[in-house]
Amino acid sequence: MQTRPLASLGRYTGPATLILSSLADGAKHGYALAKDIEQFAGVHLVPGTLYAALTRLVDQGLIEPVASDDERRRPYRITPAGAEALREQLSEQRRVANLGLRRLAGGTSS
């Protein structure tokens, strides 16, 4: 049985999912990631959380740095493995959300 890559991040799964979702539409550096995430999710990732998550995602091969002429800004892009991990994570979140919504509506619990 293959484990879900993002699930292995434990409490860091949330920031990782947000970062991968942001990178799904193109490469971004840290500040641009933080601003994009604030805009689409309403979540402010403090620099320590953001950069620790970036390091973990690079270490897992889910994102990679992109060459840049600007030494101060290091852009990242999602890898094919990262896109698949994000797809799996979002599908699982959708399954759980749908179940919760059915239960709230008085539907079945399975």
Q: What is the pLDDT of residues 26-66, one digit of tens each?
A: 999 999 999 999 999 999 999 999 999 999 999 999 999 99
- Residue 67 within any structural domain of the chain: yes
- Residue 33 within any structural domain of the chain: yes
Mean of all residue pLDDT scores within the chain: 89
Q: Average of pLDDT values for 66-77? A: 87
Name the nearest CA neighbour of 39 among 14, 58, 21, 66. 21
- pTM comes to 0.84
Query: Residues of the chain with pLDDT > 70: what percent?
Result: 85
Give the contacts of 38 (CB within 8 A, at least 6 positions apart).
44
**CATH, residue 79:** 1.10.10.10
Whether the predicted pLDDT of 16 surpasses 60 = yes
> What is the CB neighbour count within 10 angstroms for residue 93?
12
Number of structural domains (the chain) is 1
pLDDT confidence band for 88 (50 / 70 / 90): very high
Give the contacts of 32 (CB within 8 A, at least 6 positions apart).
75
Whether the predicted pLDDT of 78 surpasses 90 = yes
pLDDT confidence band for 70 (50 / 70 / 90): confident
- Residue 1 within any structural domain of the chain: no
Residue 47 structural domain: 7-104
- Residue 94 within any structural domain of the chain: yes
